[in-house]
């Protein structure tokens, strides 16, 4: 059974700091990994999709890496801003599970 873990559960940083969010998964036979952002009480916004054959993806100040063999992904946020405050979720699609399995998220607060 695929299990996804995100560390830390919560993170508070001053504005302008670069930061890394971590995601690990137990079954490395994934099709892809997606990072999402969720604001309180809202839906999920897709940030980045990394296919299993890729090592990283970049979008603006965000960079996500994937090491499938070790079951790890990181989301790097450069020059954080208060507007980045949200919960960040990673999710993996595993063929055997036939679903997107989510981690419990990292709640990020960027202080002005």
Partner 1 sequence: EAGVTQSPTHLIKTRGQQATLRCSPISGHTSVYWYQQALGLGLQFLLWYDEGEERNRGNFPPRFSGRQFPNYSSELNVNALELEDSALYLCASSLGTGGLTEAFFGQGTRLTVV
Given the rule CB under 8 A, which residues bind partner 1?
31-32, 34, 36, 41-46, 49, 89, 91, 93-95, 98-105
Q: Which is nearer to partner 1, 13 or 93 (CB)?
A: 93
Minimal distance in Å, beta carbon 26 to partner 1?
15
Between 43 and 112, whose beta carbon lies closer to partner 1? 43
CB of 38 to partner 1, least distance (A): 9
String of DSSP letters for the chain: ---EEEE-SEEEEETT--EEEEEEES---EEEEEEEEE-TTS-EEEEEEEETT-SEEEETTEEEEEETTTTEEEEEE-S--GGG-EEEEEEEEETTTTEEEE---EEEEEE-
Closer to partner 1 at the Cβ: 12 or 46? 46
């Amino acid at each position: 059974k695929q299990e996804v873990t995100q560390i830390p559960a919560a993170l508070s940083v001053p504005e302008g700091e670069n930061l890394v969010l971590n995601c690990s998964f137990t079954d490395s036979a994934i099709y892809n990994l997606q990072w999402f952002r969720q604001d309180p009480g809202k839906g999920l916004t897709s940030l980045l999709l990394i296919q299993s054959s890729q090592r990283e993806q970049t979008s603006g100040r965000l960079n996500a890496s994937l090491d499938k063999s070790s079951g790890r992904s990181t989301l790097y946020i450069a020059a954080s801003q208060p507007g980045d405050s949200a919960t960040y979720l990673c999710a993996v699609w595993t063929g055997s599970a036939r679903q997107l399995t989510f981690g419990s998220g990292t709640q990020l607060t960027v202080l002005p």
